């Protein structure tokens, strides 16, 4: 079933957001609950990101088959916006002839561990260890196979889809080293991947200044609709919010560093203002750590270096699991 253009309808499933464009939404957009996009023109279908687990990928595939009929793989293309597993675990479910990502994303994918190995990567007797076990129990990796892109690019690439052009634009390093966005000028739509989290706290693993620049790149395209990697469908206002969030983080990091304040104290100190009520606010620890490293010319911290603090302080996670009877956060 397709829900027709209504941005306030943030429910799981396929939502039409413009003439050729659809969003597959996974509320509430927390850890592992990412959105996908679909562009359909003529006989061609483009799938943007393929979900974090097999159940969600298969549900999305079934919805596409129901709406558009089943297709030859030659008429299905996937774009993975970046290498995080919640955006490409389901690649094998969609029978796509072409799978495209940036060169930098493909390089990261090749060294990404299998999705069911997450608990092995984290100290078991920690908050992050408990979280990782919860993720492994929640998501379904049955019959998962590793299907990486068979095509990559740097800079930008235009693909033809039926009679419309779709632009892939590299905007990383930002959220990760190899982010891309997908722009459908005909419909005024941008699929932003994890450059944009809408009204839920974004996280950067690669570059805070890159995040700000990527938001500016999206705004310069003047889209009417922006499909974020996590959260509900938005527009340019949602992009400005993310840009301003990262500017606030960057300013705080710069001021704190100039005053010789260590990362932990800068984290305790930060006033998130309007962003304090976004879910997973403790991700600001990872963002500050990224800003500190960037300013000092060090590589950005690995997830294992920051996740314990982020998860231990993740009140949205605690609240959700207390209320939940088996939710998927
Ligand atoms: Zn994601």
Residue 60 lies in a domain: yes
End-to-end CA distance of the chain: 25
Distance, CA 101 to ligand 1 centroid (Å)? 15
Residue 73 lies in a domain: yes
Counting every residue, how long is the chain?
329
Residue 300 lies in a domain: no
Look at the block and give the residue holding tokens 């890159």. 210
Q: CA–CA separation, 323 vs 298, rounded Å?
A: 40
Predicted pLDDT at 3: 65
Q: CA–CA separation, 166 vs 42, rounded Å?
A: 14
162: left (phi over 0), alpha (psi -120 to 50) or beta: left
Residue 103 lies in a domain: yes
Distance, CA 202 to ligand 1 centroid (Å)? 9
Q: CA–CA separation, 77 vs 197, rounded Å?
A: 24
Distance, CA 259 to ligand 1 centroid (Å)? 34
Q: CA–CA separation, 161 vs 188, rounded Å?
A: 15
Q: CA–CA separation, 329 vs 317, rounded Å?
A: 7
Residue 282 lies in a domain: no
Residue 173 lies in a domain: yes
pLDDT tens digits in sequence order for the chain, 329 residues long: 566 666 778 999 999 999 999 999 999 999 999 999 999 999 999 999 999 999 999 999 999 999 998 888 889 999 999 999 999 999 999 999 999 999 999 999 999 999 988 888 889 999 999 999 999 999 999 999 999 999 999 999 999 999 999 999 999 999 999 999 999 999 999 999 999 999 999 999 999 999 999 999 999 999 999 999 999 999 999 999 999 999 999 999 999 999 999 999 999 999 999 999 999 999 999 999 999 999 999 999 999 899 999 999 998 776 655 544 333 33
Distance, CA 97 to ligand 1 centroid (Å)? 24
Distance, CA 31 to ligand 1 centroid (Å)? 7
Q: CA–CA separation, 100 vs 182, rounded Å?
A: 11
Q: By the 8 A CB rule, do 81 and 48 touch? A: yes
Q: By the 8 A CB rule, do 88 and 273 touch? A: no
Distance, CA 257 to ligand 1 centroid (Å)? 29
Q: CA–CA separation, 214 vs 325, rounded Å?
A: 38
Partnered with residue 161 across adjacent β-strands are: 164
CA 147 to the chain's CA centroid: 18
Distance, CA 84 to ligand 1 centroid (Å)? 6
Number of structural domains the chain divides into: 1
Among 316, 326, 51, smallest CA distance to 203 is for 316
Distance, CA 18 to ligand 1 centroid (Å)? 23
Range of the domain at 139: 2-235
Distance, CA 193 to ligand 1 centroid (Å)? 7
Distance, CA 222 to ligand 1 centroid (Å)? 23
Distance, CA 258 to ligand 1 centroid (Å)? 32
Instruction: Work out whether the CA dihedral 59, 194, 311, 113 comes out positive or negative.
Output: positive
The 10 Å CB-count burial string (b at 16+, else e) for 51-79 is bbbbebbbbbbebbeeebeebeeebbbbb
Helices 127-138, 303-312: inter-axial angle, 10-degree rounding: 90
Distance, CA 260 to ligand 1 centroid (Å)? 33
Predicted pLDDT at 236: 97
In the structure, ligand 1 is a single-atom ion and the residues with CB under 5 Å from it are 34, 84, 86, 194, 229
CATH number at 139 reads: 3.60.15.10
Residue 55 lies in a domain: yes
Predicted pLDDT at 71: 81
Distance, CA 28 to ligand 1 centroid (Å)? 12
Predicted pLDDT at 328: 35
Distance, CA 46 to ligand 1 centroid (Å)? 19
Distance, CA 230 to ligand 1 centroid (Å)? 6
Residue 310 lies in a domain: no
Q: Are strands 36-41 and 76-79 parallel, antiparallel or unpaired?
A: unpaired
């Amino acid at each position: 079933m397709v829900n027709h253009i209504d941005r306030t309808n943030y429910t799981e499933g396929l939502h039409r957001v413009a003439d050729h464009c659809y969003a597959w939404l996974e509320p509430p957009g927390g850890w592992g609950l990412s959105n996908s996009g679909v562009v359909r023109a003529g006989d061609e279908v483009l799938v943007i990101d393929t979900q974090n687990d097999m159940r969600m990928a298969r549900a999305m595939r079934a919805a596409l088959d129901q709406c558009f009929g089943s297709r030859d793989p030659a008429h299905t293309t996937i774009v993975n916006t970046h290498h995080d597993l919640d955006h490409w675990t389901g690649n094998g479910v969609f029978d796509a002839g072409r799978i495209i990502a940036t060169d930098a994303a493909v390089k990261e994918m090749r060294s990404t561990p299998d999705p069911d190995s997450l608990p092995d990567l984290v100290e078991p007797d920690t908050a992050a260890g408990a979280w990782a076990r919860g993720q492994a129990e929640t998501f379904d990796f049955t019959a998962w196979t590793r299907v990486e892109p068979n095509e990559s690019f740097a800079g930008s690439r235009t693909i033809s889809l039926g009679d419309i052009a779709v632009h892939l634009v590299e905007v990383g390093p930002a959220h990760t080293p190899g982010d891309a966005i997908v722009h459908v000028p005909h419909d005024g739509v941008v699929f932003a991947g994890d450059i944009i989290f809408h009204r839920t706290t974004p996280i950067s693993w690669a570059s805070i200044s890159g995040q700000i620049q990527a938001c500016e790149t999206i705004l310069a395209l003047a889209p009417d609709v922006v499909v974020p990697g996590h959260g509900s469908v938005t527009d340019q206002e949602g992009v400005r919010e993310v840009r301003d969030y990262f500017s606030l983080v960057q300013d705080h990091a710069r001021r704190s560093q100039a005053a010789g304040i260590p990362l932990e104290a800068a984290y305790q100190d930060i006033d998130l203002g309007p962003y304090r009520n976004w879910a997973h606010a403790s991700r600001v620890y990872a963002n500050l750590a990224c800003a500190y490293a960037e300013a000092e010319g060090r590589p950005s911290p690995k997830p294992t270096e920051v996740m314990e603090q982020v998860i231990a302080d993740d009140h949205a996670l605690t609240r959700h699991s207390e209320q939940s009877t088996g939710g998927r956060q």
